[in-house]
Structure 1
């Protein structure tokens, strides 16, 4: 039966009961018969556990009394004897241990109270010893003392305290005490079972169902399962319905959804009679979709039911669901405030996230600082809370910046030893460029414990750091991170699939990330989806989900705004800026960077706008954004006065983080370069261009720099192979000498050829240019690829080759132009049509048709060519001022400044159009405004 005491060890009990369910329902074979059980009895027991008996539970179950307020304010207790009755003091200790809406959790105080009661001889002493023993196993309540806990439980068991025997047997069974002792576990569980505790009988069933366990008699596991059923029936008949939750916990261990579905039936009955524990467990099943259809609304209803019964955990969960769905309501705030008052650890962390703006997009720095202090001061603070506090002190968000204090908090995290703490500490080491090797060791340890974030970061180290891992090892780590539900890993796999042209696979990975609530994936899905009306509507839905209030609102709106600015998604003027404005006070460094760039690029930059932009950039740079650091360097004048850091220092800091443009701008100063290279060497740098530029810096030094430079270049090429445009960019660095200290044309051409073969049109065009003077046929081959991809420069190269004297190159070029024109490439239609008109006059009409086709697609050059043709009579001798001016006007309306000027002249002279002096002046002005008339 459920213990009402706070230190009931529910997590350990649940673990053991789960093991029992898994083993028993898997059909453990019975040993040789010593004590036969009727088959129908076992079948009946299992059938009973799958479905609660039909009873009028509202009448049968005893009402669960609401906890009373403490008799006195025990926080002021001096430890001396008190007139409060021992039983009441024991109940009050439970209140402080569990916390609640009207009592702040204080497990250290609860332990002192229990220690006081355990040292006396009263009716409350055995239960006080039991609870004190469990407190001594809880590090959040103070120093752990397993030996004393064992002694106390033995003493309480000797006093025939059923719960003590059950607890001691459970601890022996799970090995929570210094060493597992199956014999002692069986003995103490047997004592509890003999006193009618069905939970003890279930645990005995688990003990004897364990493979290899010594069997006291044949079918021992099934015997105790049947005994448990008898105990459950007896408890229910007597009105003790807390046993409903015990059975549900047991059934959760059945593999698959069947056990969870059976457990839900027991929890549902318990929740129906007001059992907060049962309601909370049922809420969790509905929220996760385990054994039941996923139903967040039903989960919220149950969490709120449990919260009304005083469950602080349920208050936190209900507040979380409200906020995650974007419902920042007084009800959600009240639930969270009550849970925070009770010092519920999850609530303390939720308050940090709420005041940080994770759900609303608007941070409250003052409240955030208070929440961080509150969460960090908890006896067992959450890793995320400590990490957030350290970040606040490092960046000055809501508090005075204090790098020493931030470092001390990170060192505290590093000493904790948990997988989550290892990840947080490793992220700090990497971000600050302190120790890549130590960070990798921490991440490896955390990955071994199954931390998805550790797996992903290790995959990035393997992908980007020379010598860290093979491509196969890095890919394996990435796949494991994705399988574990890491959204960043899922997005990376989606990008790789999209780069490889596999849109279906990309969609699959993004769907998985979006199902986890990843807003960036939702934006990528909106971009990926293209086609008919149904697909457009789906894209709009994904974009709306990404921007909706609730958990992840800041990265979602930022990603959507970026998509609007880059024209990756259709939008109305100002949509991106309006989105950014809604998260302007989020305190997010990436948002600060975007806002600063918009201020500097899209408004008249007066002193106030410049100062605001510098403030935003400084905030982003303080959060570790290398691009913001580089922007501060470029602003130059006044930056030092406003940030306290000289512009040159911002350049070095950006370069240390592997910002490619900062590496390219470094001064020729050996000390500065060595400092930058030391910083780059301790970070994960995944930009091939940055790696190549760093290699170029190493090449300056004779003391071992060449080997390191070559390693960086090999890694850069390995990463660049993921995307053709990166291969092209790397080739440009080789061609310029920035990657190797001197131009390396052969290596550059090799990369350009790889990029062109992978579909990069600029690489193909550049290769054509490189070969044009000496190898015309080879040039035509590459120009052809660029032309088919719509590159006007490649088309121009083919025109030059086609115009040479008869040769294989000219014939190949002409054929390539014909092929590109046949594929509807506008610039090729224009060029091939013009060639036909000039080189083969007998095919003039065909040439005009091609030019017209190009013009109809919006090609302004073709429009202007047609205008000249009709004006000069090169269209088979047909002169038409009307047609000439019509095409000139279309080119002008398409935005061509020269055509604007010429159309103005036509209007002024009445050439092919009715003379209109005023309209002519307007077009002349437009030509001037667009830079044509100087």
Structure 2
């Protein structure tokens, strides 16, 4: 009866007929067949193509649990349904009771799932050693428990951070086939090729056994060539399998959406990700509401209605206790938060109180007096601080607020940040922050060589601000003996990266460093010929005044016009001065005021003052005292802003 019911549900060996399949399974259940109830639960979860009916899935599994001889997998499956929420409201008490039953019978997944739920609800964990539960599950061969132990040792409030332990559990989890651990190891720089190959074989095995998370990760591995040869056909095949109807489909959709939004497919795909999140959020998933809300408030193309919906979704996620949702609400303008009944400051406080370390660090930084800052620092230190950036910012606050004790704490946090960076993919912004903090002597004596090494790593990783920093400091000699050659090299790289300030810095070097001026001009010219407006402007000014070679006012003015036509406000003002003096162009008061007016309309306060004066004097335009006064008032208001 059970086999016949499954054939009808699947449409294998017989035409698909859901009603007949359910009827045969119900009949088999009356003969105390546990497998029939398990199949019925899978059907009511939507695995065979029907719409999910979670209360009926719970009913089927409850009937299975009431029968003698049921396995622990039935208990775990039923507990997951209660924990997720049958009618949108989780039943944590029932879920915990079922997980404990499975754990008492030695089931590794029961131990792991119980630990996960207790970590999410520490108020229910009193008297329970969660780490011991996970280690017991790991000893019984649970890859999921090993992966979670790696996460906890890397950063949690449950155990002291221990990066060696974290790494050890990560390797064990990957070897046992834990999908996220396999992907994490494969993505690390210098990953062992042979270990990666073995881990990827384990990932394939897990995917072939039906693990949805493994399917998503395998699809990305084939698409990106990370640990496997690129193969778009296999990538599409595993993505389709991950999104097929059935149990855990929503988890696959959520993971896939997150990876798409992170650009891990070779570029962010917001449209596809949004469709996935919309579907999962409709079923009441708070994590999907969070991801979708975050997307809607941050997407450049979102209009007012979309942002308002994003705020509403984030508020829903916040009501479920998701602290990062509160932190994102804290970053929204108060006028967009009126519907929530709270201000940005109130959401930031809620996020910090709910355990968001970043929000608590922000509150400590914004505190008006040392005692308030110290209170928020104490709150941060009771939370898991996981990112190196947060550690460095906390060190900066500690050194500023708490005197000698703060200096020692700052040293500890800086060292933790440095240790964290050893075990993670280098982040250019954090590398730069660490270097700057070391130069400032936060946490102890300034270590210029170590600081420079971090700043150079940041620059090599693409941080334009780090390139400009190195260029300026080599030019000024602030890092020791000045070196114009190195200064020009780093500024040229910053300019290629789109940094406007580097163009001005190179022009200054061209004007002051006689021996190295040609190299500075060559870097400017290359960027100018590529069409970068600030470089076009500075190259034009250099030609005008003969920086790095003979002066050529006419050619200089021609380059300035190119920059001005491209919308560069400073070039417009320079061109106005050229026409006012006839330097490189025909003397023309009209053209001078016309270019000044364009710069003023673009929002430049200095140009507004100039237009006001021109209209007062009748320079290149008719005298118009009323308009002159309006421009003067606008200039003053702009300058104040």
TM-score band w.r.t. shorter chain: 0.5 to 0.7
Aligned with residue 585 of structure 1, among 282, 292, 299 = 282
- Go from structure 1 to structure 2 and tell me whether the alpha carbon gap of 1:451 and 1:511 turns closer, same or farther (over 3 Å shift): closer
Per the TM alignment, residue 794 of structure 1 is displaced from its structure 2 partner at its CA by 3.5
- Go from structure 1 to structure 2 and tell me whether the alpha carbon gap of 1:573 and 1:736 turns closer, same or farther (over 3 Å shift): same
Per the TM alignment, residue 640 of structure 1 is displaced from its structure 2 partner at its CA by 7.6
1:763 and 2:463 correspond: no
- 1:653-802 paired onto structure 2 within 5 Å: 653-655=353-355, 658-665=356-363, 668=372, 674=378, 677-678=381-382, 680-681=383-384, 686-692=386-392, 710-721=411-422, 722-725=425-428, 727-728=430-431, 730-731=433-434, 734=437, 751-769=454-472, 773-775=476-478, 777=483, 779-802=487-510
1:422 and 2:111 correspond: yes
Per the TM alignment, residue 488 of structure 1 is displaced from its structure 2 partner at its CA by 0.5
Per the TM alignment, residue 547 of structure 1 is displaced from its structure 2 partner at its CA by 7.6
- Go from structure 1 to structure 2 and tell me whether the alpha carbon gap of 1:614 and 1:582 turns closer, same or farther (over 3 Å shift): closer
- Go from structure 1 to structure 2 and tell me whether the alpha carbon gap of 1:863 and 1:798 turns closer, same or farther (over 3 Å shift): closer
**Structure 2 equivalent of residue 190 of structure 1:** none
- 1:476-491 paired onto structure 2 within 5 Å: 476-491=168-183
Secondary structure of 1:450's match? coil
8 Å Cα contact 1:629/1:650 also seen in 2: yes
Per the TM alignment, residue 453 of structure 1 is displaced from its structure 2 partner at its CA by 1.6
- Go from structure 1 to structure 2 and tell me whether the alpha carbon gap of 1:523 and 1:396 turns closer, same or farther (over 3 Å shift): same
8 Å Cα contact 2:474/2:487 also seen in 1: yes
8 Å Cα contact 1:547/1:553 also seen in 2: yes
- 1:426-575 paired onto structure 2 within 5 Å: 426-433=115-122, 438-464=129-155, 468-471=161-164, 474-497=166-189, 513=203, 516=207, 518-521=214-217, 524-525=220-221, 528=224, 541=236, 545=240, 548-550=243-245, 553-558=249-254, 561=257, 575=272
**Structure 2 equivalent of residue 146 of structure 1:** none
In 1, distance between residues paired with 2:307 and 2:566?
A: 42
1:125-170 deviations in whole A, cap 9, x for unaligned? Answer: xxxxxxxxxxxxxxxxxxxxxxxxxxxxxxxxxxxxxxxxxxxxxx
Secondary structure of 2:416's match? helix
8 Å Cα contact 2:506/2:524 also seen in 1: yes
8 Å Cα contact 1:595/1:613 also seen in 2: yes
Secondary structure of 1:787's match? helix
Per the TM alignment, residue 458 of structure 1 is displaced from its structure 2 partner at its CA by 2.8
Q: How many residues align?
A: 550
> Higher RCO, 1 or 2 (CA under 8 Å, sep at least 6)?
1
Q: CA RMSD in A?
A: 6.1
8 Å Cα contact 1:727/1:752 also seen in 2: no
**Structure 1 equivalent of residue 324 of structure 2:** 627
**Structure 1 equivalent of residue 513 of structure 2:** 806
In 1, distance between residues paired with 2:171 and 2:51?
A: 35
In 2, distance between residues paired with 1:674 and 1:432?
A: 22
Aligned with residue 313 of structure 2, among 596, 608, 613 = 613
- Go from structure 1 to structure 2 and tell me whether the alpha carbon gap of 1:829 and 1:653 turns closer, same or farther (over 3 Å shift): same
In 2, distance between residues paired with 1:735 and 1:710?
A: 10
- Gaps in structure 1 of 5+ consecutive residues: 1-99, 102-306, 323-328, 889-895, 899-931
- Go from structure 1 to structure 2 and tell me whether the alpha carbon gap of 1:616 and 1:725 turns closer, same or farther (over 3 Å shift): same
- Go from structure 1 to structure 2 and tell me whether the alpha carbon gap of 1:546 and 1:522 turns closer, same or farther (over 3 Å shift): farther
Per the TM alignment, residue 491 of structure 1 is displaced from its structure 2 partner at its CA by 1.9
Per the TM alignment, residue 752 of structure 1 is displaced from its structure 2 partner at its CA by 2.8
In 1, distance between residues paired with 2:43 and 2:169?
A: 33
In 1, distance between residues paired with 2:534 and 2:118?
A: 52
**Structure 1 equivalent of residue 635 of structure 2:** none
Max Rg structure: 1
1:85-117 deviations in whole A, cap 9, x for unaligned? Answer: xxxxxxxxxxxxxxx54xxxxxxxxxxxxxxxx
